[in-house]
């Protein structure tokens, strides 16, 4: 069996047993990349030589923790000393980071092997990976369809067995939606659970780094390795990191009386039939397994998309100001400073990034701040209250990850509003800072679908337990493997 | 028409922390360009700020020293604008919830003491420096200064003329230096000042249209720029024209202000709360510790000097000008000597010496102990005031202790009548004509005899004793 197709947990088992060597595994993964990436274009860079050197170095040593010797892929928004950190942008095409992101450092220390960096929507802005300056990525299930976004390259790389796991970043669903589109697991942790130091900022108050993996157990192992307070990120939480990996080894077959909340009013609208049917099937499965399904209200969820696109664009307009042609970015010829800025930013940024910078600049303008930014922040507070109230009635929330199955390339590029609406079920988690995960549910018409679980802040344990249980009920692991084969 | 000027100052003070406000880079001045930088202060993609607690403590000290309300919860905000020496494209500052609000301080004016209200004091990061004169074809940027902690101290528009503005600025500097949080050096840019100025007819309470004057980088500059701007606005108003709201730049070389940007060109800074930093929450116990550790401040020290050392207000004011001068004075007094006499010596001879050498009290060649010793020699009648000046001159040359100078050079004052009498007799004998004239009523000649006797004793005669003895000798026979 090709070791690249194994889950991270299975890879780790064989590596520790000595039946698999890091070099063999790295070669197998690189072979998958070589065979498939010309078509799928998940990667912006592959560090083949460096990965082999690292694998050999590890091999000379004794196996470490569960990530020891595991090849992984970083979304190209994570700062790495190795290679370039492009953020899918022409602006940073040649940018070499002078430092490693905290998560990269932690994975390095855990013995994981950085195999390369994955394609993405420019600066994380998009839901299809069609906004990359370096070309579209394709969905491994159907290369005519998008892998989702903005971490589309990471999700597709995991689905296509390039690696043991990938890291993505999620500002409004950018881990979960591509995970659903590619039939893999994607988890956005509680805001502050994982250090953002070294994640090129899109919207600072919403961004979170998280794992994209082949199964729930793998997500627990990766999250455990990267989570925890970082003195370099003032917004990172000081709460202790539970042993998620070990916890999942003892998931009860039928947890007692799980209450699954469903925000019915919210999930009724704009959801395609296939997704609706699949979601109903998931709820039936849960109910049959002993869970109680509870109706809950998230009254302010209807304002989430509007609030999100105000806050995210406002913060982005400021975060992206540093790409001005003065220091590390590309610089266009100009006769004066104003022209230098204008030409550099006009030519260096893609359409969607410019659209969002303009929106964000507008909503922060003097005279508009109260009407937009401040009001959006109020929505955020109200939304948090909604979730608190809902979690008083249930243990977890369930809803579709995306209102649609993976769509075709080019299908939505002309309609940015339609594209923004694909985030409807994912952005509330970012606005409220909650942990949420997408897990695969079924393959319908050859395309994977996903369901999403929300848990209260800091309740990643509950989230992972519920996800592992549901994964077992749905038997998706076999499902995805058959899909990927 | 007669106008009243309404002036408010915005003062930026660089804090003397070892490291920058959001990273561990050194704040040392004068290093080679771009050597004191890191990914954080150069705004590399993905970096995050971490607040330097010492900068917060320094800012709180200034807030407490100016009677501000210290907010236990304040926030940082981003001030967005593009400039090459602003690497992130925004400055982390404070906007809606500043650290300190509603304070005040007192200044001395010709009309007496005045209170100037302080609207706010907030923390922010400094920008880098754009150098336009280092390369013929391009401008260069040095980011060493980027991220140096600053406090911005914003006054209410309570100042009424350039002298008051000068006094206010001097008082701020004095407090900053007392608190040891800023070196107060305007020429090196560690203290910077912008001014808002408007005029209104005397008696009018509504404010006129203001202009903002930038680039006031010396105390003289502040006064000169304000004087010029007030004249310019008065001329406009007298001519029936209106003052235009704009930002003007002071050109010290030409002695004039000129337009930098109009109201229409004014930046929209698009402030919003800094999402990379949590709200700054200060613990009440910590605030109390900071307050308890505050040094005695200039006003309190001046009042204490007046009472404790029976000094006049002016003397006490001068001696408390800096912490170092006040400390010097107090250790001299502690070593012994009459406080008022020591005060005079410090303010005249010592200050004259320091000014002549262009050095501060810290570098004084004469220690407080030596000055006290000198004063005690006078008070013990061992040397005269005049001799003391000679000894002082010797002290500053050699650094030798005054007692030893007096000893070595045989400078002890001759106060003993038996020792002085032969001298007096000799002088009278040598000048019979003068003696006769004196006795005929020309008593002013006493000075002549004193001079002769001093000459004969090389200045060592005790002047009082000598005079007494001369009078007695001249009047008796």
- How high is the pLDDT of residue B122? 98
Task: Establish, for the pair of chains A and B, how many residue pairs have beta carbons separated by less than 8 Å.
Answer: 100
Are B362 and B402 contained in the same domain?
A: yes
CB of B196 closer than 8 Å to CB of B210: yes
Range of the domain at B27: 3-288
Would A263 be classed as within a structural domain? no
User: Does the interface ipTM go beyond 0.90?
Assistant: yes
Put simply, the answer to whether B44 touches A235 (Cβ < 8 Å) is: no
Which of A193, A201, A250, A198 is CA-nearest to residue A222?
Answer: A193
Count of structural domains within chain B: 3
- How high is the pLDDT of residue A485? 34
Of the residues A169, A364, A369, A373, the best mutation for testing chain B's interface (the one with the most B CB atoms within 10 Å of its CB) is A364
Of the residues B38, B45, B95, the best mutation for testing chain A's interface (the one with the most A CB atoms within 10 Å of its CB) is B45
Range of the domain at A441: 3-258+406-484
pLDDT reading at B172 higher than 70: yes
**Residue A174 known to be catalytic:** yes
DSSP A173: S
Would A462 be classed as within a structural domain? yes
3-state secondary structure at position A211:
strand
Can you tell me the distance from the alpha carbon of B130 to that of B86, in angstroms, rounded to the nearest whole number? 9
Put simply, the answer to whether B272 touches A369 (Cβ < 8 Å) is: yes
Percent helix, strand and coil across chain B, each to the nearest 5: 40, 20, 40
Digit-coded pLDDT (tens) for A408-463: 999 888 888 888 888 999 999 999 999 999 999 999 999 999 999 999 999 999 99
Pick from B288, B320, B335: which residue ends a domain? Answer: B288
| CB-based burial label for B350 (10 Å; 0-12, 13-18, 19+) | buried
A213 vs A266, residue with greater confidence: A213
Nearest CB to B48; choose among A92, A234, A369? A234
Would A325 be classed as within a structural domain? no
Are B222 and B330 contained in the same domain?
A: no
Range list of H helices, B125-210? 162-178
- How high is the pLDDT of residue A419? 81
Pick from B256, B288, B320: which residue ends a domain? Answer: B288
Digit-coded pLDDT (tens) for A304-340: 999 999 999 999 999 999 999 998 888 899 999 999 9
**Residue A378 known to be catalytic:** no
User: Which residue(s) pair with A142 in the sheet?
Assistant: A139
Would A179 be classed as within a structural domain? yes
User: How many angstroms away from the CA of A231 is the closest CA of chain B?
Assistant: 8
Of the residues A101, A195, A319, A381, the best mutation for testing chain B's interface (the one with the most B CB atoms within 10 Å of its CB) is A319
What global pTM score does this model have? 0.91
> Which of A60-69, A260-269, A365-374, B42-51 tops mean pLDDT?
B42-51
| CB-based burial label for A49 (10 Å; 0-12, 13-18, 19+) | exposed
Are B257 and B194 contained in the same domain?
A: yes
Which of A131, A111, A112, A134 is CA-nearest to residue A122?
Answer: A131
Are B247 and B339 contained in the same domain?
A: no
Put simply, the answer to whether A364 touches B272 (Cβ < 8 Å) is: yes
Q: State the CATH number of the domain containing residue A457.
A: 3.90.1300.10
Q: State the CATH number of the domain containing residue B465.
A: 1.10.10.410
Annotated catalytic residue, options A97, A128, A154, A174: A174
- pLDDT band for position B253 (50/70/90)? confident
Are B249 and B350 contained in the same domain?
A: no
For A325, the closest chain B residue by CA position comes to: B84
**Residue A354 known to be catalytic:** no
CB of B173 closer than 8 Å to CB of B184: yes
- How high is the pLDDT of residue A401? 97
Can you tell me the distance from the alpha carbon of A96 to that of A51, in angstroms, rounded to the nearest whole number? 18
Count of structural domains within chain A: 1
- pLDDT band for position A268 (50/70/90)? confident
- How high is the pLDDT of residue A481? 44
For B88, the closest chain A residue by CA position comes to: A322
């Amino acid at each position: 069996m090709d070791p690249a197709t194994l889950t991270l947990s299975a890879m780790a088992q064989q590596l520790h047993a000595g039946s698999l060597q890091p070099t063999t595994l790295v070669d197998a993964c690189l072979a998958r990349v070589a065979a498939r990436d010309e078509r799928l274009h998940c990667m912006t860079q592959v560090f083949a030589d460096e990965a082999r050197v690292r694998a050999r170095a590890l091999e000379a040593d004794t196996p470490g923790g569960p990530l020891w010797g595991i090849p992984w892929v970083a979304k190209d928004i994570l700062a790495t000393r190795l290679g370039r950190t492009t953020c899918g942008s022409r602006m940073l095409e040649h940018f070499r980071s002078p430092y490693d992101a905290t998560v990269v450092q932690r994975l390095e220390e855990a013995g994981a092997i950085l195999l390369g960096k994955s394609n993405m929507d420019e600066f994380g802005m998009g839901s299809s990976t069609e906004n990359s300056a370096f070309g579209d990525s394709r969905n491994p299930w159907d290369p005519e369809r998008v892998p989702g976004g903005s971490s589309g390259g990471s999700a597709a790389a995991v689905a296509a067995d390039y690696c043991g796991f990938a890291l993505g970043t999620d500002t409004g669903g950018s881990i979960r939606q591509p995970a659903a589109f590619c039939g893999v697991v994607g988890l956005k942790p509680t805001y502050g659970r994982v250090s953002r130091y070294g994640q090129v900022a899109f919207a600072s108050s919403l961004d979170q780094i998280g794992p994209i993996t082949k199964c729930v157990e793998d997500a627990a192992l990766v999250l455990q390795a990267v989570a925890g307070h970082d003195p370099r990120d003032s917004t990172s939480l000081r709460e202790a990191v539970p042993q998620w990996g070990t916890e999942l080894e003892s998931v009860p077959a039928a947890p007692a009386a799980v209450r699954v909340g469903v925000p019915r009013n919210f999930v009724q609208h704009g959801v395609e039939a296939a997704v609706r049917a699949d979601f109903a099937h998931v709820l039936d499965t849960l109910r049959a397994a002993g869970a109680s399904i509870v109706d809950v209200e998230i009254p302010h969820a209807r304002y989430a998309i509007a609030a999100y696109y105000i806050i995210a664009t406002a913060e982005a307009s400021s975060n992206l100001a540093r790409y001005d042609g003065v220091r590390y970015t590309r610089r266009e010829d100009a006769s004066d400073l104003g022209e230098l800025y204008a030409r550099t930013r006009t030519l260096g940024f893609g359409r969607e990034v410019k659209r969002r910078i303009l929106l964000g600049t507008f909503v922060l303008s003097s005279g508009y701040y109260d009407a937009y930014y401040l009001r959006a922040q109020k929505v955020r507070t109200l939304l948090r209250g909604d979730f608190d109230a809902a979690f008083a009635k249930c243990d977890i929330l369930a809803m579709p990850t995306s209102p649609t199955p993976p769509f075709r390339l080019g299908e939505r590029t002309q309609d940015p509003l339609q594209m923004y609406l694909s985030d409807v079920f994912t952005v509330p988690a970012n606005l409220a800072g909650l942990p949420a995960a997408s897990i695969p549910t079924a393959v319908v018409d050859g395309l994977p679908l996903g369901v999403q679980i929300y848990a209260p802040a800091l309740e990643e344990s509950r989230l992972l337990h519920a996800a592992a249980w549901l994964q077992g009920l749905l038997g998706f692991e076999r499902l995805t493997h058959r899909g990927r084969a | 028409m007669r106008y009243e000027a309404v002036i408010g100052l915005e003062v930026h003070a660089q804090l003397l922390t070892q490291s920058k406000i959001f990273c561990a880079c050194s704040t040392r001045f004068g290093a080679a360009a771009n050597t004191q930088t890191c990914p954080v202060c150069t705004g590399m993609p993905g970096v995050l700020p971490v607040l330097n607690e010492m900068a917060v403590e320094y800012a709180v000290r200034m807030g407490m020293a100016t009677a501000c309300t210290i907010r236990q919860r304040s926030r940082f905000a981003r001030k967005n604008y593009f400039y090459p020496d602003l690497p992130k494209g925004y400055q982390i500052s404070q906007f809606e919830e500043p650290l300190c609000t509603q304070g005040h301080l007192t200044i001395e004016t010709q009309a007496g003491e005045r209170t100037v209200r302080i609207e706010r004091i907030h923390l922010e990061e400094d920008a880098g420096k754009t150098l336009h004169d280092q390369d013929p074809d391009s401008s260069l940027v040095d980011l060493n200064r980027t991220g140096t902690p600053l406090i911005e101290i914003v006054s209410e528009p309570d100042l009424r003329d350039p002298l008051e503005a000068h006094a206010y600025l001097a008082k701020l500097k004095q407090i900053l230096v007392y608190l040891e949080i800023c070196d107060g050096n305007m020429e090196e840019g560690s203290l910077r000042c912008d001014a808002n100025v408007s005029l209104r007819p005397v008696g009018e309470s509504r404010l006129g249209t203001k202009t903002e004057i930038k680039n006031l980088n010396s105390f003289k500059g502040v006064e000169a720029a304000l004087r010029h701007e007030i004249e310019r606005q008065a001329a406009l108003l007298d001519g029936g024209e209106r003052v235009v709201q704009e930002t003007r730049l002071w050109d010290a070389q030409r002695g004039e202000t000129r337009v930098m940007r109009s109201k229409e060109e004014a930046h929209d800074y698009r402030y919003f709360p800094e999402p990379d930093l949590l709200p700054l929450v200060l613990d009440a116990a910590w605030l109390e510790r900071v307050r308890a550790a505050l040094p005695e401040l200039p006003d309190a020290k001046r009042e204490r000097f007046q009472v404790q050392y029976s000094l006049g207000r002016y003397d006490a004011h001068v001696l408390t000008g800096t912490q170092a001068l006040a400390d010097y004075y107090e250790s001299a007094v502690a070593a012994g000597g009459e406080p008022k006499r020591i005060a005079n010596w410090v303010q005249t001879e010592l200050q004259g010496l320091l000014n002549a050498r262009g050095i501060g009290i810290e570098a004084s060649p004469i220690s407080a102990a030596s000055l006290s010793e000198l004063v005690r020699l006078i008070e013990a009648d061992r040397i005269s005031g005049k001799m003391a000046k000679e000894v002082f001159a010797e002290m500053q040359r050699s650094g030798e202790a005054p007692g030893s100078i007096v000893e070595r050079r045989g400078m002890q004052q001759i106060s003993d009548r038996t020792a002085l009498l032969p001298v007096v007799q000799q002088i009278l004998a040598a000048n019979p004509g003068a003696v006769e004239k004196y006795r005929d009523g020309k008593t002013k000649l006493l000075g002549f005899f004193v001079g002769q006797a001093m000459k004969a004793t090389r200045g060592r005669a005790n002047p009082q004793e000598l005079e007494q003895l001369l009078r007695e000798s001249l009047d008796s026979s």
